[in-house]
Structure 1
Amino acid sequence: MSNYRNLIGFILITHRNNLQLNRLINKLNSMFNYPLIVCHHDFSKCDLSVDKLPKNVLLVRPHLQTEWAGFSVVEATGKALKLMYEVADAPDWFVLLSGADYPIKTARQILDDLTSNPYDVYIQYEQITYKTYKQDLKPNMLWQKNSYQRYCTKSFSFHYFKNLEISLDHPLLTKPFLPFSKKLACFSGSQWFCANRKAANYIIDFHSQKNALTLYYSKIKYADESYFQTVLANAPHLKLKNDRRRYIDWSASGCHPKTLLMEDLPNLLASSAHFARKFDIDIDINILNELDKITS
């Protein structure tokens, strides 16, 4: 078995289902020969048997109490990244995963793809603009309107006037309140991405500065779907591929993607993605068993 430890590592942001988390860790270990895995686990939501974890798994200590769509998820990711790249033999690449993710390609396919292309980052990112916000978009692009509403507007509440609320959306009116400018555009996309050491060091350095952008995102919801995209897409020295290399099915609508089942296997195999989400071992374990055979 090849030694992949210095080539790739994994950051896990987890808060539930220890059985599935342990299965994912064991799978990554068998595929990549015990790579560096840094896990931020929210112990306030679910306990974890630390003494049973393999020695290649490092835990972020102390953990943060994470909140769905909160900046705490960004902070947890930042802490995990910092811990990973403080290690002497830190990997050339890292992949950000949740406990509900699972590989759908072999280790060789994943590494060949990452190392044979000129990109520093694989991430979904779209620029969020006022022009797009005002356009009539197709249903599958409405998330861009939502992103503008989340990140590029400013609301004021006046409780003394029967809970009157005023919302500003034009850039000329919001400029004094937002960190964005012609030199710093707002971007949004999926929070799951992978990147190389160059990009990792840039994120760690940028995040440690506690600048205006970081301060702004620390006060708003859904920061995990815009913060890293904005940081990376505004870095001229980094080459980004607008592809997160992740299979996610949003056909179920709502705030969460479809739970993947055996019926989804053909689509998974036809995808160019490296990993897929989300899986639930309590709903369909057979899909994971089948993926184990395919990726071994």
Structure 2
Amino acid sequence: MSAPIGFVLLTHANVPQIRRLVGTLDRMFDAPPIVCHHDFSKCDLPGEGFGTNFTVVRPHETTGWGRFSIVDATLRGIEALYARPDAPDWFVLLSGADYPVKPAAAILAELAASPFDAYIERREVSYAARKLASGRLNFRRYRTFRFHLPGMARNGAPGRFFTLSHPLLTQLLTPFSARFRCYFGSQWFTANRRAAAHLLCFHRDNPALAAHYRRQERYRLICPDESYIQTILGNAPDLRLADDPLRYIDWPEQTPHPRTLGEADFDAMTRSGAHFARKFDPDDPVLDRLDAFVGAI
């Protein structure tokens, strides 16, 4: 039988924090199917203490910030989750530093009644965005084509890097067009079985899109985990998407990482309508308070 909800975890550190999150999910959702992709190159994750509902992706991907390896780890986790006999109706992608901020009954009721197939932040990266201060960086990240020509300098320099941005050129060198739009947004999302099937099938049958992201990541500007899955789901004609990842995240302006949440954020988190929040320190007292609020004690 299918489970109503399952989880894919992406982890690489803070084993006690991972164990606490898994224990909380077990108590809230009655031992749901959980697949964890853990980057064992960063630290070990001993298997003792986890239930039979918890499985680990093997072998693991060696992941890095802003690398396509994070996308690989995510897709392998989703694939492993839907290969299980108890594959869920819905799944939630979480990091080890996330935590629930809404009771299980409310989460399950909202998903069961949902008219959507996925809750995922997605914003289009259009050619017009290059002229806007708010869109210039993402246009450069995702809609330009960068390449390197080695050996052009006689003084031993490693060659030159070029960036093409005009649509007459980029439409020939990138996968994006008016018929296949480019999107970006938070990597954390919630989706149902139908969206998972589309995502996995598209990734398998259209290797050129992944090849583009892998090629462009060499120039260290693109963030594949914030665009690849968003672009696949955003272009799916038969999927209904809500532009809301159901996460409470506080991004300070002009910073690359979200703010760490604590006691002062409790009311805002629990009244936000979000299902989960990120990110937390492992031993923050607010986690005990959240346990009581979501009924995980």
State the TM-score, normalizing by the size of structure 2.
0.92
1:69-95 deviations in whole A, cap 9, x for unaligned? 110010011111111111122100000
Task: Tell me the residue number matched to 1:227.
Answer: 228
CA contact (8 A) 1:118 1:239 kept: yes
- Alignment partners' CA distance in 2, 1:210 and 1:173: 22
- The alignment covers a number of residue pairs equal to 285
Matches of residues 234-253 of structure 1 in structure 2 within 5 Å?
234-251=235-252, 253=254
Q: Deviations over 1:195-227 (max 9, x none)?
A: 000000111111122521121122324100000
For residue 13 of structure 1, give the secondary structure of its aligned residue in structure 2.
Answer: strand
Q: Which residue of 2 aligns with 1:295?
A: 294
Alignment of 1:1-296 (within 5 A): 6-135=3-132, 137=133, 142=134, 144-159=135-150, 160-161=152-153, 163-219=159-215, 220=217, 221-251=222-252, 253-282=254-283, 285-296=284-295
Matching residue's letter, 2:138: S
Superposed structure 1 runs of 4+ greater than 6 Å apart: none
- 8 A Cα contact 1:5 1:35, kept in partner: no
Secondary structure of 1:51's aligned partner = coil
**2:68/2:224 contact within 8 Å kept:** yes
Aligned AA (1:217): Y
The worse-fitting range, judged by mean Cα deviation, of 250-259 and 194-203 is 250-259
Q: Which amino acid aligns with 2:208?
A: A
Contact 1:5 1:33 in 2 (8 A): no
Indicate the SS of the match to 2:10: strand
CA distance in 2 between partners of 1:95 and 1:255 (Å): 23
Structure 1 CA distance for aligned equivalents of residues 87 and 161 of structure 2: 49
CA separation in 1, counterparts of 2:56 and 2:265?
33
Gaps of 5+ in 2: none
Query: Counterparts of 1:223 and 1:186 in 2: how far apart (Å)?
Result: 12
Percent of pairs identical after alignment?
Answer: 46
Aligned-residue RMSD, C-alpha: 1.6
The AA in structure 2 aligned to 1:264 is D
For 1:147, give the aligned amino acid: N
Contact preservation (8 Å) 1:5, 1:36: no
Give the partner amino acid of 1:204.
L
C-alpha distance in structure 1 between counterparts of 2:56 and 2:130, whole Å: 41
Change in Cα spacing, 1:89 to 1:156, as seen in structure 2 (3 Å) is closer
**What one-letter code is carried by the residue in structure 2 that aligns with 1:289?**
D
Structure 1 residues 94 and 241 mapped into 2: Cα distance closer, same or farther (>3 Å)? same
Give the distance between the partners of 2:148 and 2:58, measured in 1 at CA.
38
Shift of residue 253 of structure 1?
Answer: 4.2
Verify the 8 A CA contact 2:190 2:245 in the aligned structure 1.
yes
Unaligned runs of 5+ in 1: none
What CA deviation, in whole Å up to 9, does each residue of 1:26-81 have, x standing for no partner? 00000000000000000110111113322110110111101111100100111111
Task: Please report the TM-score for the alignment, with normalisation by the length of structure 1.
Answer: 0.92
Question: 1:145 deviation in Å?
Answer: 2.4
